[in-house]
A and B are shown apart, each in its own frame.
Chain A
Amino acid sequence: MIAGARAILRKDLLIELRTKESVPAMVLFSVTVYVLFHFGLDRDSLDGELASGVLWVTLLLAAVIGVTRLFAAEREQGGIDGLLLAPVDRTSLFVAKAAALFVFLTAVELVAVPAFALLLLGPGLGGALPELFVILALANLGVAAVGALVAALAAETRARELIVPLLLLPLLVPLLIACAQATEPLLRQDAGPEELGRWLSLLSLYDVVFVLLSIAVFDFLLED
């Protein structure tokens, strides 16, 4: 199972490296949304709750782009059927796609979070970096699992571009709540984690539930 997953993952990462279709778009989108928020909120700098909210909503909206494109390579080359004929079980496919999404999200955040700190964040990011890494890592895990599931669910419907955001965003609400609440005290003037344990527990629970559920249920998708 691992070998199959690794093969698919390597293919997806190579395709992305070569075509550069998803990650740059997601980064560009994030920075554009920061600009929109600047004008929409009429603020030069944000801190605390507002900063946390703007950052996470932007990241999740960018994730929608990544999820919509997750099976794009397979679709465009008529490859979904080819993949299914190959001796790869669907769990490997799920793990590979989720891992790819995780890598893309991490890559996007490597640019989008510093960009946020530069453009909109009032207090600096410095002190809170380790906690922020943990939150981002757990968040990416959850988004990757749910995103891969939603991508597969919407893969063969005609209205894919509409269904992905409508499905993904409500499903991510608990994750958003946990991340925004956890990040908020880190982005204040007097930065310092507060109640981090509670929100990290919620985030971890969410991750566990959706990783297990997606693996269990993925077998019934993309079947023929």
Chain B
Amino acid sequence: MYSKSLVPLAVASVVTITTALVLVFFYAPLDADQGFVQKIFYIHVPMAIVALCGFVAGGVFAIRHLRSGDRSWDMRSYVAIHMSIILGLAVLITGAIWAKASWGHWWLWDEPVLVSFLVVFLLYCVYYPLRFSIEDPDRQARYSSVFAITAGAFVPLNFMAVRLAEKYTHPRVLSQTGGSLPGEMRLTFLVALLGVGLLFVTLWKLELTAKHASMQLKRLRNRARVAA
């Protein structure tokens, strides 16, 4: 039942994340401005990037579902979006913790990453009520895919708009991803990003396994009932 790649993926995730944690706390230098609090950056930004990729992947899977009519693509889309929403919640919580530690407020409207994420999160939360208020499974899958594609196209537009609207007074600190980071920080960041990405794929496959198993169970039950 478990796909063959699940165990190596899980091992790779654990190894990468452990390495990343070691690097964060023992290798990466202390940031001159923010001090120790900057370490949150190594967990917050990778989660944000992976969540965004997850939402876009959900949209891509949805396109494949609509074109082929094969519902397994819808399942992949659903799990990707579902997990990205959870990651998104973690992004918002860690972002708030970072904001409180750095600036004294639990929220910052000046951080375009954080603000866009709030809007994206609010949008994707509607995925569940939309999906589960439609009873016919075929229609449910189709409408969910339409939503996933619309929302996936929305994400980059939203980031663009929020970033454009940002007033130019505050420096964008959270969003420093690759450009201006010194070497050791960049390496740590990339390892952390890889770790979170691998973790996402591992958990995604794990949940897909659970879903297939429950569908198989349903099929077996139906067959047993018919035979009886």
Contacts and interface: CB of A to CB of B under 8 A. Distances in A.
Nearest to A164: B126
Interface string B149-181: 111011001101110110000000000000000
B150 A171 contact: yes
A199 B165 CA distance: 9
B168 to A, nearest CB: 12
B134 A170 contact: no
A134 interface: no
Interface in A114-173: 149, 153-154, 156-159, 162-163, 166-167, 170-171, 173
B130 A157 contact: yes
Given A156-B139, A177-B161, A181-B165, A217 B134 contact: no
A146 to B, nearest CB: 8
Given A158-B133, A166-B126, A213-B149, A221 B143 contact: yes
Contacts, number: 84
B147 interface: yes
B122 interface: yes
A171 B146 contact: no
Given A220-B142, A221-B142, A167 B149 contact: no
> Chain B: interface residue count, which band?
20 to 34
Given A177-B162, A198-B164, A202-B161, A171 B123 contact: yes
Contacts of B150: 149, 153, 171, 213-214, 217
B15 interface: no
B110 to A, nearest CB: 15
B130 A163 contact: yes
Interface string A199-210: 100100110011
Contact of B153 (A157, A158, A213): A213
Interface of B: 66, 119-120, 122-123, 125-126, 129-130, 133-134, 139, 142-143, 145-147, 149-151, 153-154, 157-158, 160-162, 164-165
Given A157-B130, A170-B119, 6 more contacts: A157-B133, A159-B133, A174-B157, A217-B149, A220-B66, A220-B145
Interface of A: 149, 153-154, 156-159, 162-163, 166-167, 170-171, 173-174, 177-178, 181, 198-199, 202, 205-206, 209-210, 213-214, 217, 220-221, 223
8 contacts: A162-B129, A170-B154, A171-B150, A173-B158, A177-B164, A177-B165, A217-B146, A220-B142
